[in-house]
Amino acid sequence: MKQLQMVDLKSQYEHIKNAVNEGIQEVLNTTTYINGPKVHEFQKNLEHYLGVKHVIPCANGTDALQIAMMGLGLKPGDEVITADFTFAATVEVIALLQLTPVLVDVEEDTMNISVEAIEKAITPKTKAIVPVHLFGRAANMEAIMNVAAKHNLFVIEDNAQAIGANYTFSNNKKVKVGAIGHVAATSFFPSKNLGCYGDGGAIFTNDDALAHTLRGIVNHGMYERYHHDVVGVNSRLDSIQAVVLNAKLPLLDSYNTARRNAAKAYNDAFAACEHIITPAFDINGDDHVFHQYVMRITNGKRDALLEHLQQNAIPCAIYYPIPLHKQKAYTDGRYNDSDFAVTNKFAEQVIALPMHTELEKDQIDFITSTVLNFLK
């Protein structure tokens, strides 16, 4: 059996080695390191793939979120609603811009932001909702867009974990996640479903005026050389990363299929175990692309299982061990712990198993039998 890894980027690289090596050599030969033709080519390729009018590449996913919020003109004191159960970057940028983060609980079945909780949290100061498509599963976008329209709010999709996932509306219209809200942010961190070999990110929107604003913000607020119309940032995707992304983008659907197949194999193996709640496929019109395979252990032995798997050289992780409303940086006297019942429960029950595009059957068999033997 090949050695188990949480994410196996080396095996994946072996399949795209020629395209990557040749493309990087071309960048070295032409010295177009920043904003070269490869970045423009990737921007066009991604716009086409997502069916979105504008892709604005930038330096990482956290920047993408921040720039999206700057582009919408959100002001200090504006309230932005997001999920309590997510990676800290989502709430971090809200706080950095001196907006007021309003954390709300998530749904039990999808692990994504609860639409009911969003509605309860809306006040006259609310300006935006940030749904996170957590672990590769789309949030309930149709309901979220309806709530946003009713209250005149922006929707900023945090699509760092679900690129390539389709969302199906009740009229059967399929749209790629990230092309639904007013603006979306994604990350090309190496381990993401579409990852480069360093840092990278992008912002997407169908709004021409917003796209223009965002293109200036990523470039020091310049719309004309050395004319700084707004306060911007320096956030660029470099050409070497664009080479890697151009090589991987045509394979993204097959990568996501490989992830779904691995998840299906895990789910099938665990179906009969009463102590495991596996992630369901395809609820609320989403088609889960399994950035992570996160299951729940319901007999209180999650931490013991974690230790047991580590002893057997099976990498595993807890995403996320502490709800954001309990993090020192994000506690707020307004929160009532009992309003976060689902997130609090998840923090004690969730465990993530190896998930990547190169998992082999004997590896999955070894992982699942080790888990089942321990829990029986």
Applying CB under 6 A, which residues contact ligand PLP? 60-62, 86-87, 89-90, 132, 158, 160-161, 187, 189, 199, 201
Residue 244: what are its φ and ψ, rounded to 5°?
-65, -45
Strands 100-104 and 79-83: parallel
Least Å distance, CB 185 to ligand PLP, is 7
| Nearest one of 136, 84, 93, 148 to 113, comparing CA atoms | 84
Q: Supply the minimum distance, in Å, between the C-beta of residue 140 and ligand PLP.
A: 17
Smallest distance from ligand PLP to CB 25, Å:
26
Give the nearest distance from C-beta 210 to ligand PLP in angstroms: 20
Closest CB 227 distance from ligand PLP, rounded Å: 29
Phi, psi of 100 (to 5 degrees): -100, 110
Q: Are strands 183-187 and 154-158 parallel, antiparallel or unpaired?
A: parallel
Picking from 150, 175, 126, the residue whose alpha carbon sits closest to that of residue 285 is 175
Nearer to ligand PLP, 69 or 276 (CB): 69
Distance in Å, CB of 87 to ligand PLP, minimum: 4
Burial 87-109 (b: 16+ CB within 10 A, else e): bebbbbbbeebebbbbbbbbbee
User: Least distance in Å: CB of 201 to ligand PLP?
Assistant: 5
Give the contacts of 37 (CB within 8 A, at least 6 positions apart).
239
Query: Cα-flanking dihedrals φ and ψ of residue 148, to 5°?
Result: -65, -40
Q: Considering only CA atoms, which of 133, 173, 134, 171 is closest in space to residue 155?
A: 133
Whole-angstrom distance, CA of residue 249 vs CA of residue 103: 33
Closest to ligand PLP by CB, 187 vs 349, is 187
3-state secondary structure of 104: strand
Tokens encoding 121? 């949290």
Q: Cα 239 to the chain's mean position, in Å?
A: 23
**Residue sitting closest to ligand PLP (CB):** 61
Cis peptide before 320 (omega within 30 of 0): yes
Nearest distance, CB of residue 40 and ligand PLP, angstroms: 21
Q: How many residues does the chain have?
A: 376
Asked if residues 112 and 139 have their Cβ atoms less than 8 Å apart, the reply is yes
Least separation in angstroms between residue 167's CB and ligand PLP is 17
Sign of the torsion formed by the C-alpha atoms of 48, 53, 58 and 60: negative
Q: Which is nearer to ligand PLP, 60 or 349 (CB)?
A: 60
Enter the tokens of residue 173: 């219209």
